[in-house]
Amino acid sequence: MYGATVRSRSRFRRVREIPGFPMPRLVTPLPADPSLTRALSRHLIASAPTGAFIDLTDTIVIVPASRAQSSLAHHLQEMAGRPVLLPTILTPGRSLSQLIVPDRTAASDAAITLACLRALTEFAEQSPPVVAAILGHTATSAELLSLASRIGQLAQELSRAGLTVAAVCDRGAACEFGEFFPSSVWSALASVIDRATAELALHGLDLPHAISARAIDAGRLATTGLRRVVVLLADPDPMERRLLDALAERGITVEVVVHDQDLPDLEGGFPAHAAWSATRPPISLDRIVRVAGLDDQPAVVLHALDALEQPISADSIAIAALAPTDPAILSRTLSPAGIPVALPPTRTGDQGSAALLLRAVSAWLAEPTAFNLGTLIRHPWMERHLHTLGLHAALRQLTLFVASTGVRRLDEALVTLPKPSHDGAVEPVLAVVGPLLNSIAAASTGHERLLALHALLNTLHPSHAPLGDATASGAVARAILALSELPSSLLAGCTLSQLVELIVTGAASTDLPSDERVGIECMGWLEAGVCDAPHVIVLSANDGLLPEAAAVDPWLPDSLRQTLGLPCARARRARDAWMLDGLVKRKASVWFGVPATNSDGEPLRPSRFLIGSTNQAERTLALTGDHNRSSLADWALETKAVSGLTMYPAVPELPHITRMSVTQFETYIRCPYEYLRAGVLKADRRDDLQLELNPMAFGNLVHAALQEWGKRELGRTEPTTDPKVIAQELDEALNGVLKQRLPASLQGTVVVQVRMARERLAAFARVQAKWAQDGWTIKHVELAFEAPRADRPDRQATTAEDFNSAVNASDLVDDDGAPPLDSRQHAAPMFPDENGLYISGRIDRVDFNGRTGQWAALDYKTSSEPSDPKDHRTRSGWVNLQLPLYRELLATIDIPRDGMQLGLIALPAQPDLAQIKVADWSTDQLDEAIEVARSIVALVKAARTPADFAPSGKPPLSDDPLVQAMHGIGIRGIAPLSPREADAASVPATVGGAA
């Protein structure tokens, strides 16, 4: 009868203990207390001998989580009333390693993965069908690491139940699991695991639970000085149950403490899966709050708080947030209203700066593309390092270079751009990054790579970092050092990317502390079962979360898991029912929030535990439908904190403005602040993930081809009127520009853009031929009017000093696109007189018609939609003064204003819509435009502070969502209650002291 369960209805019934003689397992209900750990403390103190102090050093207590460890130790010291020598408090994973005497060293997860990877690599080379049987196709090197990790997890999971892959394979081959068991897959898995464990054995390593199983079977248990083991667990795994049985056989008292008396269907003090998976603890409908969706769940908390007797302290309430988005929703809704919420860890060590840096380094060294380099130098540690070396705008320069060239790989021949300050430069960045990563790239062994990565982190890690990021960096460093201690043969053949993934995976086991740690504590479901708070609020109490949904695993489907005694859906239902029963019976109150839909609007089912086992039809109707839902709008929350941020950034000092380009008048009319930001300060946002030519670079590409063709056309006595000839010459001109301006390696999107440019140029040939047939000839190409500048001449940046000089030289320069390859420059005139501003600009083409004697100023436009001059003047007045100001510029070189044609050569995305659109403005309208320009110049000249450039607030200000957000466009706040809604709310309820 040894091994039978003996119930103890008192706090603890002492059984005669004979050392070495088998003892029955005890099941003891804990004393009444909302906190299980506090009740367990009372039980341990009451069962201790009387004396000057309490000695519990001969006792081991096994609790489900680290939270319970610290809580139990705290309560024992607080409640003892005398000195106490604490027991050894363990979690399930630690109990095995603490109590067994191993015959080998337990292999880490990384070591097991590496052994499986080595086995898979050998099979992939020597016997590919083995790996193909597992994957269903021929393996690639990129798949092997993730496959090795999955096989290692499978082997460890089976070993927790005392099983091996080979044993499961044999049972499956004997048709024990049915005819659909994938014997070929499991046979291949067994071959891989056998070779991996053999590799581990060469170094004295083995699976941790395999070591435990051998130790338990052989009786190698470390029980010296141990008298009693007290267990507070809902569902220990099979290996832990075997350990408890072995301890009882040795005469050690094994006591399982439970939350209530007369609990039915127990197996050794633990809930029987078959019975408890069908159990439905009684839950009152009054404690269930239905809401429309996840965003309304703060109303559940408010509803529960309002029902509690006030005042109530934050530590008397716990929130079990079952859905991953619940903590963030609570924080952003309740904390600003004066109800602080302490969030659980939401990030892990693999999401810190160190892990992100290693991934960026790995990606860059594996494939040196512009995208990967941008990701690397965008990292804050790398950016700080570049800044220390004098490269203050590395990312900006790289972004400009990519946007100008469309380059993909940076390890091939690169073009030299004529104006680095405008088009960017990449050589100085490569000159710094290369030597920094050289030791990693040159490493020949896994150990050398790991040490080089560790040295890189030491070099770049900041001296001060936020707590969470410092914790993550420490986790990454420990993972690197742990890998470096593994045998060399396990690391042999590992690529840098594989090592980085192993490091990051190791760091992922470390939780990063939340920044919000004060207030009502928000936690997970398992932590809620052992929390001290007397009141618990369970959010997202839906099926799939409570109980947890079944895991989908093609190798271990749920039915096979249940047969093998592994964690399965039935076991999880039993565990959750057991925990829920404990909460309902012990806590002063338990509230449940049930959202009807998820964030995508898809319906959610209430938890089956809430439906219950009686009156199911009535309860189902009460928990479904649109009636009786609570809403966050029902609560008048007053925001306690007001942001001190302005809508748009302020500028401390106004630069001296001496010039203005013809295109900047449009920006000023649209928004004076945008003119200051983009036109004067040049504070444009660059897309540092550029994968294509930006609109300006694409336009520059087309402009350059048109300019080359225009120069050829200028040398002719008669204009070309044959569209085929024009198209052929434009194609040749584009080829020349591509050879000069674009590198050999291009982004795939840039290749498409080049084809689009050819289509637009072909459409232009048709339009230009018709224009020439009407008598128009080209007289000027890229006619520039430049304001006097004291800037140093541009040159290709090759050093940090040149690099930053080129960047700084462009800070206050006005541009109308990229500079032409060869343009005729004239001095920009002062406008409207010598007390005004220099007006700069670049006219794409100036044509003359010998038949009519007219001049025409034309501008190429490559926007997606056809450009039309009529859009420059709307019913409310002028919005774009570019073309009227062209008249003023040309008048300074003796081209008469009278009779001048002003137009746009539209080359839109749809080639059929290409055309030359000439404006039909009257002289009075053009004079009106000049008056508008005069008034703008007067306002700019009169400005003394940045405040004189106030935002207009008139959309559209920009297509850039970041710029729109600066002006409050696209940002939605919580709409205030209407007077009618406010009246309906009557007196606001007091919630935790907040109205």
548 phi and psi angles, rounded to 5 deg: -65, 140
| Contact between 370 and 402 (Cβ < 8 Å) | yes
Q: Which two tokens stand for residue 343?
A: 């969030």
Give whole-number Cα distances, 166 to 159, 191, 197, 485, 786, in Å: 11, 8, 12, 30, 81
216 SS3 class:
helix
Q: How confident is the model at residue 684 (pLDDT cuts 50, 70, 90)?
A: low
pLDDT digit string, tens, across residues 228-237: 999 999 899 9
Q: Which two tokens stand for residue 950?
A: 């106030």
**Which residue type does 236 have?**
P
Give whole-number Cα distances, 363 to 347, 356, 424, 476, in Å: 22, 11, 23, 17
How many other C-beta atoms lie within 10 A of the C-beta of residue 835? 9
Q: Which two tokens stand for residue 784?
A: 């520039």
For 352-379, what is the mean pLDDT? Answer: 94
pLDDT at 256 over 50: yes
Residue tagged 């939401």 (tokens): 346
pLDDT at 3 over 50: no
Q: Which two tokens stand for residue 756?
A: 């689009």
pLDDT digit string, tens, across residues 834-856: 999 999 999 999 999 999 999 99
Determine the Cα–Cα distance for residues 129 and 141; give it in Å rounded to an integer: 15
How many other C-beta atoms lie within 10 A of the C-beta of residue 384? 11
Determine the Cα–Cα distance for residues 147 and 116; give it in Å rounded to an integer: 9
Q: How confident is the model at residue 794 (pLDDT cuts 50, 70, 90)?
A: very low
**Which residue type does 877 have?**
G
pLDDT digit string, tens, across residues 708-733: 999 999 989 899 999 999 999 999 99
pLDDT for 809: 38
Beta strands in 86-130 (DSSP E): 88-90, 105-106
Q: How confident is the model at residue 903 (pLDDT cuts 50, 70, 90)?
A: very high
Q: Is the peptide bond before 547 cis (omega within 30 degrees of 0)?
A: yes
pLDDT for 748: 82
Least confident of 438-442, 632-636, 901-905: 632-636
pLDDT at 977 over 70: no
Q: How confident is the model at residue 517 (pLDDT cuts 50, 70, 90)?
A: confident
Q: How confident is the model at residue 677 (pLDDT cuts 50, 70, 90)?
A: confident
pLDDT for 984: 37
Q: Which two tokens stand for residue 789?
A: 């500048």
* Core vs surface per residue 207-230: b (16+ CB within 10 A) or e: bbbbbbbebbeeebbebeebebbb
28 SS3 class:
strand
For 594-613, what is the mean pLDDT? Answer: 90
pLDDT digit string, tens, across residues 765-780: 999 999 999 999 999 9
pLDDT for 788: 72
pLDDT at 812 over 50: no
pLDDT for 337: 87
pLDDT digit string, tens, across residues 65-98: 888 999 999 999 999 989 999 999 999 888 888 9
pLDDT for 673: 86
**Helix (H) or strand (E) run with residue 117 in it:** helix 109-126
For 112-135, what is the mean pLDDT? Answer: 94
Looking at the DSSP bridge assignments, the partners of residue 54 are 84
Which of 816, 906, 911 shows the shortest CA–CA distance to 868?
A: 906
Determine the Cα–Cα distance for residues 52 and 70; give it in Å rounded to an integer: 24
Q: How confident is the model at residue 655 (pLDDT cuts 50, 70, 90)?
A: confident
pLDDT digit string, tens, across residues 371-411: 899 999 999 999 999 999 988 888 888 888 888 888 888 98
Q: How confident is the model at residue 278 (pLDDT cuts 50, 70, 90)?
A: very high
pLDDT digit string, tens, across residues 74-83: 999 999 989 9
For 246-258, what is the mean pLDDT? Answer: 94
Q: Is 548 exposed, middle or buried (0-12, 13-18, 19+ CB in 10 A)?
A: middle
Percent of the chain having pLDDT more than 90? 64
pLDDT at 750 over 90: no
Residue tagged 């004529």 (tokens): 418
Determine the Cα–Cα distance for residues 598 and 6; give it in Å rounded to an integer: 47
pTM (predicted TM-score)? 0.76
Q: How confident is the model at residue 931 (pLDDT cuts 50, 70, 90)?
A: very high
Beta strands in 747-809 (DSSP E): 776-786
306 or 987, which is more confident? Answer: 306
Q: Which two tokens stand for residue 172?
A: 């499956």
Instruction: Count each helix (H run) and each strand (E run) in the chain, helices first.
Output: 38, 30
pLDDT at 974 over 80: no
For 46-59, what is the mean pLDDT? Answer: 90
pLDDT at 980 over 50: no
Determine the Cα–Cα distance for residues 528 and 408; give it in Å rounded to an integer: 51
pLDDT for 954: 65
C-alpha triplet 973, 979, 982: angle, nearest 5° = 80
pLDDT at 981 over 50: no
pLDDT at 354 over 80: yes
| Contact between 165 and 186 (Cβ < 8 Å) | yes
pLDDT for 970: 53
195 or 640, which is more confident? Answer: 195
Determine the Cα–Cα distance for residues 109 and 205; give it in Å rounded to an integer: 12
For 945-955, what is the mean pLDDT? Answer: 76
Looking at the DSSP bridge assignments, the partners of residue 857 are 846, 902
pLDDT at 477 over 70: yes
Which of 888, 752, 734 shows the shortest CA–CA distance to 821?
A: 734
Q: How confident is the model at residue 140 (pLDDT cuts 50, 70, 90)?
A: confident
Determine the Cα–Cα distance for residues 173 and 150; give it in Å rounded to an integer: 22
